[in-house]
Amino acid sequence: MRRATILAAAAVFSLAAPAVAEAAVLVHAPERSVSCGGPIQVGIFAQPGTTGNRTVRISAFDRASGKVWWKRTATAPIGRFRSWLLPSGRLGRCGTTTIVYRGFREDGSRFTSRFTVRFRDEGA
């Protein structure tokens, strides 16, 4: 009886435990739609126990012109989130922006993640 109780408790605990992400470096997906004048938040995070290269390049492209208007190369901190707040598009003009993260996986292969941010009118 005691053994059955222990097995049942272990099964419940394993179902209740949160899933662990498999990636070594995690990136923050910015909101898809931001009000004009609102900031775009980008960021990176490295899981505890991460080994290898944690360097990530983050770029913000203006969709209309194709110009890079913000870029940063940073090392993802282990166990904490590092973030930046960007203005509303290139020159603050609320143009559609593409955020691109480039970095390395734990096995050494490269990854690229792209996110599109559109701005909505406040209706002023």
- The ranges assigned to domains in the chain are 22-120
pLDDT at 2 over 90: no
pLDDT at 98 over 80: yes
Q: What CATH number does the domain located at 22-120 have?
A: 2.60.40.2550
Residue in 100, 97, 102 with CA at minimum distance from that of residue 76: 102
State residue 8's pLDDT score: 46
pLDDT at 5 over 50: no
**Residues 75-89, mean pLDDT to the nearest whole number:** 94
Query: pLDDT by residue (tens digit) across 15-35?
Result: 443 334 456 899 999 999 999
pLDDT more than 70, % of the chain: 80
**Residues 51-77, mean pLDDT to the nearest whole number:** 95
For residue 89, count CB atoms less than 10 angstroms from its CB and return exposed for 0-12, middle for 13-18, buried for 19 or more. Answer: buried
State residue 7's pLDDT score: 44
* Rounded-to-integer distance, Cα 22 and Cα 75, Å: 19
Task: Show the tokens assigned to 15.
Answer: 């179902």
Exposure string for 46-68, b = 16+ CB within 10 A, e = fewer: bbeebeebbebebbbbbeeeeee
